[in-house]
Amino acid sequence: MREKIYQQLIELTNGQTSSNILMKFAKSSYSKKFIRSYSKLYGIDIEEVSKKMEQFQSLHEFFTRELKAEARPIDENPSILVSPVDAKLEAFGEMKDNVILTVKDKPYSLVDLLGSEQAAKRYEKGQYIVFYLSPADYHRMHSPVNAYVEKQYILGKKSFPVNQIGLQYGKKPISHNYRMVSELVYGKDKHAAFIKVGATFVNSIVLTNTSKQWKKGEEVGYFSFGSTVVMLFESETIAFLENVQQGQAIRMGEAFATML
């Protein structure tokens, strides 16, 4: 019953009008007044931000803030994959029967996530990891590894919440939200899918690096609002590090897996 009520409420409020109102306010000069209280509410470390608080002209500008170069050191080991974002590790592991499992064991089909059986076939029995970005997190995305961008494409139209409530009661937002898939080639012809999932009524996923070559740790884009990143790996190509735990916080540049 709770799940059905939640889904109906979200359907009623999630539309172009509500998205436009939300984005218009966040980008307005009036929203600047809320930056300091926003940073205090979420415990954001302003010492690592690249600009002073008063230099931001809107809440959206602060939300998509850049950090000082030294704030996120990158693990330089060439065999190591690093987190592309500041996030909580929502889930990770091995895919079984082409399904990713997340909150409350809600199944997410690889075909739904990637948009076709052909795309999904590459990752059969492979590994997956889900990074959830909260409103408090740094929202710029970085390359997890030195890679070649083989293909990029867009799926989905609307973006529903991907927070704990959204994952539990929503209509599989990770595999149905507006999302951008980047197919990466790294190491010795290994393939990975880097999936950027829109959230909270706003579909804005902005690419800041449109080149075909990504260098580990360099910025590739940002989310305009809280969201999720999913990465998929082919079978027997990576191993998650022993100290990686579900539910833990991870920062961009920190190691989470090694190549096999």
Known catalytic residue at 86: yes
CA distance 135 to 38: 9
Number of alpha carbons in the 13 Å side-chain half-sphere of residue 92: 25
CA distance 108 to 42: 30
- Which residue, among 216, 151, 219, 222, has the nearest Cα to 182 in the 3D structure? 151
- Which residue, among 171, 161, 170, has the nearest Cα to 226 in the 3D structure? 161
Give the CA angle between residues 45, 47, 50 to the nearest 5°: 110
Tokens matching residue 166:
């959204």
Known catalytic residue at 227: yes
Dihedral, CA atoms, 222, 163, 136, 177, nearest 10 degrees?
A: 10
Catalytic residue selected from 58, 86, 139, 175? 86
- Pairing of the two strands 238-240 and 219-223: unpaired
CA distance 224 to 38: 15
Catalytic residue selected from 139, 142, 176, 191? 142
Catalytic residues: 86, 142, 227
